[in-house]
Amino acid sequence: MNISKYEKEYLISSYECDRNENLRLLTLMNILQDAADEHATSLGLGLDYCLSKGLAWVGSNYHLQILRLPKMHEKIKLLTWPAVEKKLGAIREFLLLDDKGKPIIKASSQWILIDAARRKPVALRENLPMYQVIDERVIETDFAKIPEPQKIDETAEFFIRFDDIDLNNHVNNAVYPLWASEAVGIEFRSTHTPSEIEISFKKEGLYGEDILVETEISNLTSLHSIKAKSDGRELARVRIVWNKN
C-alpha cells in the first residue's frame, strides 16, 4: 500500500495549556499518539486490527525537539508518517507546524508490535498487512541509551491513577514526561521550558502503584529515572534539555 503523510489540524484550547499559556506536555504527547492511531487505523494497522489479532503497539522510545510550545488558541498542523520498518518494530515521525507552515516541534518515535497475551514482540511482516514507509526523518536519532542519574538532586513521588492507564492496561506513554517535568521542582519548572526530550520506556507501570522519580539536574539538562517503589523496577528513563524563560 502506497501512503502519504497524515495531516491533522488542532486548535489549542485554554484547558490544554499551563499557567504560562503553553501547551501542556501531557497534551502534546496525547496529540502525537492521537494522530499516530488515526493514521495507523487508516492504513489498516490500528487498534481495531490489533485487537482482532491479539496484538498491541507499544512505544519504546521518543525523541522530541521543541523549538517552542504552541500557545493558547493557536492553530497548528500535525504531520505524521511511518519512516522505518524493522523486523520487530517501526519508527514513526511527527512534525508540528504553526499557521504559517513553520516547524515548531519535531519528534521521532519507536514502536514495538507485541503479542498482547504473552507480552512478547512479534515480527511485523508476519502479522501486519503490507504497507510502504516514507523514507524521511525529521530527527536523525538512533535513540541512544539515556544515562542513569548519578547525583540525586530532586525526588518526587506519584500514584498511578485510573486515568493514567491506557487500553493496554498500563501507564500511558504520555504520563512519563509529565512526571519527569514535575520532578525538577516548582521554582525550576516555573522558569524553564523543555527544548528537547528523550524517553526510553522499560517496564509497565500498573494501576495503584506508587512511583518514585529520581532526578539529576546539571546546568540546563535533567536526567530522570522513574521507578516503582514496591520492587524498584525501572519503568522509564527521561532526559530533558531546558531553556530558561
Q: Which domains does the chain have, with CATH numbers?
A: 6-121 (3.10.129.10), 154-244 (3.10.129.10)
Instruction: Measure the CA–CA gap between 33 and 44, rounded to whole angstroms.
Output: 16
Whether the model clears a pTM of 0.85, i.e. scores above it, the answer is yes
The distance of Cα 101 from the centroid of its chain, to the nearest Å, equals 23
The distance of Cα 147 from the centroid of its chain, to the nearest Å, equals 18
Query: What DSSP assignment string belongs to 149-185?
Result: PSS--EEEEEE--GGGB-TTSSB-TTHHHHHHHHTT-
Instruction: Measure the CA–CA gap between 63 and 98, rounded to whole angstroms.
Output: 20
pLDDT-wise least confident of 84-98, 117-131, 188-202: 117-131
How many other β-carbons are positioned within 10 Å of the β-carbon of residue 73?
A: 11
Backbone phi, then psi, for 55, in 5-degree steps? -115, 170
Instruction: Measure the CA–CA gap between 143 and 229, rounded to whole angstroms.
Output: 26
* pLDDT tens string 137-171: 999 999 999 999 999 999 999 999 999 999 888 99
* pLDDT tens string 98-108: 999 999 999 99
